[in-house]
Amino acid sequence: MNNTFTQNRRQWLGLSAATLATLGFDLHAEPGWPTKPVSLVVPFPAGGGTDTFARPLSAQFSKLTGKTMVIDNRGGAGGNLGAGVAAKAVPDGYTLFMGAVHHSIAPSMYPKLDYDLERDFIPLAIVASVPHVLVVNPKNMPGDYKAFMEQVKTKPGRFNYGSAGGGTSHHLAGELFKLQTKTFITHIPYRGAGPALQDLIAGNVDMMFDGLGSSAQHIKGGRIKALMVSGSKRSPAFPDVPCAAELGFTDYNVTTWYGLWAPKGTPADVQARVIEEVRKAAATDEIKTGWANSGAEFPNLTGPQFGAFVNSEIKKWAVVVKASGAKLD
């Protein structure tokens, strides 16, 4: 977890009713809300990282509130199709949006979007943060990092990597890796991390730079092999996998975070209630165990502070896009 998450986690672990009041939230939820199922728009197909964290969160929300949270998978356009759908939803508290770091990259990659993440949505909470991991199909690529690099360097263009779509963190993580290693690997975009992972497992693509959350079960099952996690420390969930800093990449720090938004205009009291339920869900044994098994952490960053973080991510990724020369395929 980076310093921004660590600092904010300390600040927000003690989030109280008084703190919510200072943010301008009505402390009393809309009478009876929710009185019917709540739709959670997930802008990627089932099986990807966003979906992996959305489903257990929705299950806990349903248990805590007594009303079902229904997952609405709307994959396509690197997560932007579903974001556009959610942005236009009626802001009555019955449609929420589960986005990710990909949506802070999109403004730099797509010349025209039919939504604006900061203008059309209200930031509620980051629900999970995971490092990226370089995973390979062991039938296609060596399972040892040194041998892997020898193959990639001596056969430029021979190998490819799958992503959740153009402009996603998977795509940018791959381009940043190529930039730092001075290698050439062909990018193969998919309509989500789930389909890309399935093709990786099948051997149709050679590697992925995936969020650890969606790859974890397949690494543990031996279907794919993890060669490196991003950042300066190993993942507690996979202590045998070296981190980027150990392998000489001190600046390769790619983190995938997943967040919850509401369409602009959603009542403030409903916003406060959703934040409250997210915090309750994060405290359950089911979420704690699931997140730990996926190598994820719960940053506990909410409301305007989450919004400020998103703004900083948009600026950061704009610099990475320009430096890497990444383009949509």
Positive or negative, the Cα torsion across 207, 205, 165, 225?
negative
Residue whose structure tokens are 């703190």: 19
Q: Does the pLDDT at position 202 exceed 50?
A: yes
pTM of the model: 0.80
Least confident of 241-245, 260-264, 292-296: 292-296
Report how far apart, in Å, the C-alpha atoms of 32 and of each of 36, 39, 66 are: 9, 17, 11
User: What gap in Å lies between CA 99 and CA 82, rounded to an integer?
Assistant: 9
Domain count, the chain: 2
CB 183 within 8 A of CB 156: yes
Which pLDDT value is given to residue 20? 40
> End of a domain among 219, 247, 275?
247
More confident residue, 254 or 329: 254
136 lies in the same domain as 207 = yes
Confidence of residue 30 (pLDDT cuts 50, 70, 90): low
Which pLDDT value is given to residue 9? 42
Average per-residue pLDDT for the chain? 90
Question: What is the 8-class DSSP label of residue 14?
Answer: T
Q: Does the pLDDT at position 276 exceed 50?
A: yes
11 lies in the same domain as 121 = yes
Please state the rounded mean pLDDT for residues 259-284.
97
Confidence of residue 23 (pLDDT cuts 50, 70, 90): very low
Which pLDDT value is given to residue 324? 82
186 lies in the same domain as 138 = yes
Tokens of 314: 């948009």
> What are 58-107's pLDDT values in tens digits?
999 999 999 999 999 999 888 999 999 999 999 999 999 999 999 999 99
35 is in which domain, residue-wise?
A: 3-130+256-324
Confidence of residue 288 (pLDDT cuts 50, 70, 90): very high
Query: Residues of the chain with pLDDT > 70: what percent?
Result: 90
Alpha helices in 205-296 (DSSP H): 212-220, 268-282, 285-293
Which pLDDT value is given to residue 329? 58
Q: Helices 193-202 & 49-65, crossing angle to 10 degrees?
A: 130
User: What gap in Å lies between CA 138 and CA 53, rounded to an integer?
Assistant: 26
Which pLDDT value is given to residue 121? 98
Q: Count H helices and E strands in the chain, helices first.
A: 13, 9
Domain at 85, CATH number: 3.40.190.150
Burial class (CB in 10 A: 0-12, 13-18, 19+), 115: buried
> End of a domain among 224, 247, 270?
247
- Residue 329 inside a domain? The answer is no
More confident residue, 302 or 25: 302
Domain at 224, CATH number: 3.40.190.10
Which residues are bridge partners to 228 per DSSP?
Answer: 134
Confidence of residue 22 (pLDDT cuts 50, 70, 90): very low
> End of a domain among 230, 247, 264?
247
User: What gap in Å lies between CA 287 and CA 300, rounded to an integer?
Assistant: 13
33 lies in the same domain as 141 = no
